């Protein structure tokens, strides 16, 4: 029997601790070819995020081109999340400098070129959507060439993690997020709430991973040490919450999602109180007469597929499988 044809992934990331684990999951997946990794300012500044992506790829023994992109949001003042991930984004453990450098092409052009060269690829976004919005503004037609666009972001119908209304990736550049939501991309929205509750790695599960005899496993736990402490301060939950790896798990295998539905989604850009809120038309009332005028721009796009719940046992099994993998 012929081996399965590899799926092509393009990953856009603001590489910090949980992003690094998500990259490991994609790079160690046997049926995935990561064509490119593009980097955007978010959790940490662009230079540091690029360095972290290069280091993680080297740790995996992979050879994937990495491209640096937008240094700040479209219109807003850039605000990082080092309070959560550490000054270097990887928990401040003084990891060595990567041996490679990023490619010379800007990430926005790399996104356009990679999609045009790999029609039908899976686009996975792990950070603010600035690079994607800029690429769509430059070449709107690329939206039709993407088979799936898995977006880690938003807090659909629940509280946010950076304000009561918004999740960080959407909040930091809401104008970019709105552009992407209205673009016609086949978006699958993976909100931050999916990494909470039973999806959190508890002490016994963390110890289980640390017992793997690979160099990827201890790195995945260590680089998230600052994030674990920050998460406990933020929520009161003791454990490791991994939003980007959960999103990558669903990019690799959407059947891990146990409840999905499709709705129009828009992003709040004008309010200080609810900036970056992902507003979901869950009851399908956006087209009603009282709402139609406000929702008209979103209604001109396509519905977003939203994941509401996941099989936590399968999510953790997928993580374990990636971290047990030995690098070449």
State the catalytic residues.
Answer: 14
Write the CB contacts of 121 (distance below 8 Å, at least 6 apart in sequence).
7, 8, 9, 10, 35, 114, 115, 145, 146, 147
The encoded tokens of residue 157 equal 């119908």
Contact between 173 and 76 (Cβ < 8 Å): yes
Beta bridge partners of 36: 10
As a whole number of angstroms, the distance between CA 170 and CA 180 comes to 11
In sign, the C-alpha dihedral spanning 229, 230, 231, 233 is positive
Quick one: which H or E segment has residue 234? helix 225-235
Nearest to 240 by CA among 257, 229, 228, 230: 228
Residues 6+ apart with CB under 8 A from 128: 14, 40, 41, 42, 73, 169, 170, 172, 173, 176, 177
């Amino acid at each position: 029997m012929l081996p399965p044809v590899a799926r092509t992934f393009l990953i856009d990331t603001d590489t910090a601790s949980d992003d690094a684990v998500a990259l490991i999951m994609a790079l160690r997946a046997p049926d995935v070819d990561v064509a490119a990794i593009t980097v955007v300012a978010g959790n940490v500044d662009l230079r540091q995020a690029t360095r972290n992506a290069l280091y993680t790829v080297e740790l995996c023994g992979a050879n994937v081109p990495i491209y640096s992109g937008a240094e700040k949001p479209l219109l807003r003042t850039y605000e990082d999340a080092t309070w959560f991930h550490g000054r270097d984004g990887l928990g401040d453990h003084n990891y060595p400098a990567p041996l490679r450098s990023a490619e010379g092409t800007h990430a926005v052009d790399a996104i356009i070129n990679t999609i045009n060269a790999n029609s039908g690829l899976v686009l996975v976004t792990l950070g603010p959507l600035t690079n994607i919005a800029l690429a769509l503004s430059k070449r709107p037609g690329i939206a039709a060439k993407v088979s799936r666009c898995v977006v880690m972001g938003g807090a659909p119908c629940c509280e946010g993690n950076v304000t009561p209304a918004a999740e960080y990736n959407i909040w930091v550049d809401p104008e970019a997020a709105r552009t992407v939501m209205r673009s016609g991309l086949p978006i699958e929205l993976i909100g931050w709430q999916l990494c909470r509750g039973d999806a959190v790695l508890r002490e016994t599960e963390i110890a289980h991973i640390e017992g793997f005899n690979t160099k990827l496993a201890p790195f995945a736990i260590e680089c998230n040490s600052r994030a674990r402490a920050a998460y406990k301060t933020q929520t009161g939950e003791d454990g490791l919450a991994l939003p980007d790896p959960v999103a990558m798990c669903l990019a690799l295998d959407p059947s891990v999602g146990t409840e999905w539905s499709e709705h129009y989604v828009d992003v709040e850009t004008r309010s200080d109180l609810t900036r970056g809120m992902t507003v979901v038309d869950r009851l399908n009332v956006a087209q009603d007469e009282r709402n139609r005028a406000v929702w008209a721009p979103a209604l001109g796009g396509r519905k977003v597929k939203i994941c509401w719940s996941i099989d936590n046992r399968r999510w953790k099994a997928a993580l374990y499988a990636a971290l047990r993998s030995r690098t070449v």
